[in-house]
Amino acid sequence: MILPLFVSADASRPIAWRRGAPVLLAELQRDVASVVAQLPMRAAPAAMINLCEDRYRFLVAFAAALSVGHTVLLPSSRAEQVVADVEQANAGSYRIDDAVVDAAFGSPSTAAVNEQIPADMTVMVGYTSGSTGQPKTFPKLWRTVSGSNARNAQGIRAAIADKNSPVWILATVPPQHMYGMEMSVLLPLSGNMAVHAGRPLFPADIATALAELPRPRVLVSTPVHLRAIVGSDQVFPPVDVIVSATAPLDQPLAAAVTAKLGGELVEMFGSTETCVFASRLTAREEQWRLYEGVRLEPRDDGTLVHAPWFVEPVLLQDLVDLHPEHRFTVRGRSSDMIEVAGKRASLSDLTRRLLAIEGVREAAVFQPEADAVGTIRRVAALVVAPTLTAREVLDQLAAGVDSAFLPRPLLIVEELPRNELGKLPRENLLKALKR
């Protein structure tokens, strides 16, 4: 079976916004041909490590790789050692970055561009961020990501009043992450939307980039960036849809975001293993709604996810409760449960209790290795609480938590050691604990 690279072959449709103007599909196709002419013509399993920071260049390089049958590798970080490890583990891989793509743009080419992609081609390999340990790899077939992407597009368009106008996306997440890939690369390619080439991080930059785009506008972001937006004095142009993922979003923050930006907030549920398979309107509902055709099978060690576009069911660590009308709620993760001195507790529940203390802005509770804090594997915590001492936080936490689960140590820090996606890789937490 063959699936198209572009869901709409209309050469006049916008596919990106770059340097203050729209980029039409016809221009992107010419740029793809220019990059194709520069790629190493290697046989399978040739793979491109796409390190482009400019989202349009990334989009062009990604399309060029698929056109010649090369898989795209998506390292969890652009750090040199991380990239080198990926390169070493994949024979026939090569790097491409902004400079290489820019040089290709200046060389017009008549190279043939294949826009018909085999459904069972492995088009990308995602890498987990390492939040719970060493990163793992997850290959993705074109039919797998296309199936999820079609439903992502449906969910976003359902929240937009104007169903016919081109949809313009601005993303604060990098395209190398699976969430960023789905929402800012696959949607323009096979979701008939257009994306801003930039990746603004600070509220003022986000507001400026949004103002460049026509409406309807979609902001693809994370709870960390959305919290910064709500806490800023910056004035924002109206946003029609706000998309959030990478970490759970609480209802008060979701409501504050919608009040600040004016649009509907759609939170996506997925993983590197599965891509997105459910969503919810977080400001108004707690339960997640499964995409059409998806079925969950709760198990003792997690949840098995079935989808028509999967090669086989995928096991997630999330523990869920099923509800009528294809809905579910999340109880936690199988890896979230810990045992200390014969007693059991949940890391997420301990984190929630910390966040409920007045003056605590952010918190992360985790279990270090045994030799990091002694022979008994206690829990540790990093807390952002500028007006409190560690002793004051522990005293308040002790009122509702068994002493076996009081974090030792509990460190007051200026900020949590998040990565560029706003996640907290275990390696970062352990390093911060030793400072």
Q: What share of the chain is helix, strand, coil (3-state, %, to 5)?
A: 30, 25, 40
**Six token digits for residue 252:** 């008060």
Cα distances (angstroms) measured from residue 1 to each of 95, 120, 146, 274: 29, 8, 13, 21
| pLDDT value for 377 | 62
The verdict on whether omega for the bond into residue 409 sits within 30 degrees of 0, i.e. cis, is yes
Domain map (residue ranges) of the chain: 2-286, 341-434
Beta strands, E only, 79-229: 93-96, 116-118, 122-127, 137-141, 168-171, 194-196, 217-221
| pLDDT value for 372 | 44
The verdict on whether omega for the bond into residue 166 sits within 30 degrees of 0, i.e. cis, is no
Tell which CATH architecture fits domain 2-286.
3-Layer(aba) Sandwich (3.40)
By C-alpha distance, which of 299, 305, 307, 357 is closest to 331? Answer: 299
pLDDT in tens, the chain (435 residues): 899 998 888 899 999 999 999 999 999 999 999 999 999 887 767 999 999 999 999 999 999 999 999 999 998 878 888 889 899 889 889 999 999 999 998 787 888 889 999 999 999 999 875 554 456 889 999 999 999 999 999 999 999 988 778 999 999 999 988 999 999 999 999 888 999 999 998 999 999 999 999 999 999 999 889 989 999 999 999 999 999 998 888 888 999 999 999 999 999 999 989 999 999 999 999 999 999 999 999 998 889 999 999 999 999 988 899 999 999 998 877 667 776 656 667 787 888 889 889 889 889 898 886 544 444 567 899 999 999 999 999 999 998 888 888 898 999 999 998 877 677 888 888 888 877
Distance CA 234, CA 236 (A): 6
Strand bridging mode 241-244 / 264-269: parallel
SS3 of 175-205: the string is: CCCHHHHHHHHHHHHHCCCEEECCCCCCHHH
Q: Kindly tell me the sign of the dihedral angle through the C-alpha atoms of 403, 407, 409, 410.
A: negative
| pLDDT value for 274 | 93
With b for 16 or more beta-carbon neighbours within 10 A and e for fewer, the 90-102 pattern comes to beebbebbeebbe
By C-alpha distance, which of 303, 368, 365 is closest to 334? Answer: 303
In the three-class reduction of DSSP (H, G, I as helix; E, B as strand; rest coil), residue 45 is classed as coil
Distance CA 188, CA 181 (A): 10
**Six token digits for residue 183:** 């929402």
| pLDDT value for 374 | 43
Which class is 341-434 in CATH? alpha beta
Contacts of 398 (CB under 8 A, 6+ apart): 406
